Amino acid sequence: MNTITLTEAASKHIKSMLAKDNSNIGFRLSIKKTGCSGYAYVPQIIDKINENDLYFLEREIPMYLDPAAKSFVEGLVIDYVADSIGLKQKRLVFINPNEKNRCGCGESFTLE
């Protein structure tokens, strides 16, 4: 059930975040209604399992997905890149083939 794909850069970043604390058990993704466009991704490093979450491995990383988000993130690719403007901070980037639009600030999106 690999609904989500991680790039090598995202995988390295998430593995380094998981390694910061021995109680960390995986990466969880959900979405929430927010912002000017409708939805936002909610990535988390987790230390306990939500029993309803969908589970799979991606690049040897335990992945947990809010079941309510599954249809929203089908085919999602998560990358880790430096912003091309400003301070060039690195961040996770979500490339979703189901997105119709993003708001101007890039924090929220709408779906087809």
Given a contact cutoff of 8 angstroms between Cβ atoms, the answer to whether 66 and 30 are in contact is yes
What pLDDT does 87 receive? 60
- All structural domains of the chain: 4-111 (2.60.300.12)
* Structure confidence at residue 69 (pLDDT): 92
Ranges in the chain, pLDDT < 70: 1-2, 35-37, 83-88, 100-112
Q: How far is CA 61 from CA 4, 7, 8, 56, 57, in A?
A: 12, 12, 12, 8, 5
Provide the residue type at 57 as one letter: L
Which pLDDT belongs to residue 35? 62
Partner residues linked to 90 by β-bridges: 82
pLDDT given for residue 33 in this prediction: 84
